[in-house]
A = this chain, B = another copy of it.
Amino acid sequence: MADVGRQASVSITTVSLVLSGQHSRISEATKARVLKAVEDLNYRPNKAAQGLRLGQTRTIGFVTDEILTQPFSGNIAAGLSAVAWEQQSLLLTVNATMNTGRLRAAVEDLIDRQVEALVFAAMGSREVDFPETPPNLPVLLINAYDRRGRIPSIMPNEEEGGRSAIEHALDLGHERFVFLAGRENAWATKMRVRGYRDGLEIGGLRPVDNPIFYGDYRIGSGYDLAVRAMQRRPRPTTLLCGNDQMAIGAYIALARMGVRIPEQVSIVGYDDEPIAADLSPSLTTVRIPFYEMGRVAATHALAGTVSEIGQMLMSCPIVPRASTNRPLGQ
């Protein structure tokens, strides 16, 4: 900046005034000289120094729980990043393992770097023991909830998702279901199961005729449970899967058994991974709005309105595709 001033024969103050758009008091001629010097010297302001002076870094700390290595949920990062960019902010990212010590260290480092907000995202919805933070720093959890319940969080509405999955099938006229659920003790599973039960009730169906089989969210268990489900008599007409991976397992099992989708059985997934649209037939599934969750998080974090969030549940809509259709004989 001093160089620019020298080149344009003005003071540093003048250069700053011109550059910061406060040229109310600077003559056009001087302004032009300064801008020319800036151009000639290829000067660019040092944002670290600006930040120090202004007391703002335009930076959001983003701590993840190995999330980025997980398929599809990098969308949270994308959503955060998009909003941040719109507001001249950037994401300072740390990939912290489950390890609480590392989480604490990461959070402290980010605080020391004067981030203006802190967002934590977990892979599977889970409880987390979040470290202490300064009272004036906006903190937000995505896909996780604080052990002590003091921190605002954004979670997918898994219960509603489970319910819309089954309601979609009910609307098509289905009456016999099996729910191929994921790990029994996972929070997401419990919620999805709850939605499933709600859905059955809405349809006036008995739980005993529409059982829940538990697996582990992986392809293999989708395969195994699908085989088991199709052995029931009368056969189910719709398999609701705990996630898209299990739906893939079901696809393979059904292909091998010669059962056609959706003519003989409809399949509904959960997650709307990119792969869902590419399967053949394309997979009807429930979308978890990760990208939007990231956007909402960043918006509130930067606006300093995280306290308005409370325990926000994001709606998980059904995405109808080719794997569901009216049951035969309707």
Of all chain B residues, which has the CB nearest A56?
Answer: B48
Instruction: Say whether B280 contacts A220, CB under 8 Å.
Output: yes
A90-B93 contact in complex given A71-B71, A274-B71, C-beta closer than 8 Å: yes
Of all chain B residues, which has the CB nearest A282?
Answer: B220
Interface SS of chain A? helix
Instruction: Say whether A114 contacts B47, CB under 8 Å.
Output: yes
Within 8 A of B (CB), among A270-303: 273-275, 278-280, 291
Q: Which residues of B contact A70 (CB under 8 A)?
A: 74, 274
Let me know if A128 is at the binding interface, CB within 8 A: no
Q: Which residues of B contact A248 (CB under 8 A)?
A: 248, 275
Instruction: Say whether B71 contacts A68, CB under 8 Å.
Output: no
Let me know if A78 is at the binding interface, CB within 8 A: yes
Instruction: Say whether B52 contacts A81, CB under 8 Å.
Output: no
Q: Which among A148-156, A175-183, A234-242, A249-257 touches the partner chain?
A: A249-257
Number of copies of this chain that the complex holds: 2
Among A52, A85, A280, A291, which residue has the most Cβ atoms of chain B within 10 A? A280
9 A-B Cβ contacts within 8 A? A44-B112, A69-B74, A70-B74, A85-B94, A91-B93, A219-B275, A249-B280, A255-B255, A275-B275
Let me know if A66 is at the binding interface, CB within 8 A: yes
Q: Which residues of B contact A219 (CB under 8 A)?
A: 275, 278-280
| CB 8 Å contact bits of A185-203 with B (1 = contact, 0 = none) | 0000000000000000000
Give chain B nearest CB distance to A66 CB in angstroms. 7
Considering the chains assembled together, what is the distance between the CA atoms of A110 and B89 in angstroms? 11
Of all chain B residues, which has the CB nearest A90?
Answer: B92
Considering the chains assembled together, what is the distance between the CA atoms of A278 and B273 in angstroms? 16
Let me know if A75 is at the binding interface, CB within 8 A: yes
Q: Which residues of B contact A275 (CB under 8 A)?
A: 71, 219, 245, 248, 275
Let me know if A125 is at the binding interface, CB within 8 A: no
Of all chain B residues, which has the CB nearest A106?
Answer: B85
Q: Which residues of B contact A109 (CB under 8 A)?
A: 47, 90
Give chain B nearest CB distance to A278 CB in angstroms. 4
Considering the chains assembled together, what is the distance between the CA atoms of A278 and B49 in angstroms? 50
Select which of B66, B91, B111, B278 is within 8 A of A44 by beta carbon: B111
Instruction: Say whether A81 contacts B93, CB under 8 Å.
Output: yes
Give chain B nearest CB distance to A102 CB in angstroms. 8
A48-B52 contact in complex given A69-B78, A90-B113, C-beta closer than 8 Å: yes
| CB 8 Å contact bits of A71-105 with B (1 = contact, 0 = none) | 11011011001100100001111110000000000
Let me know if A213 is at the binding interface, CB within 8 A: no
| CB 8 Å contact bits of A216-254 with B (1 = contact, 0 = none) | 001110010000000000000000000001001101100
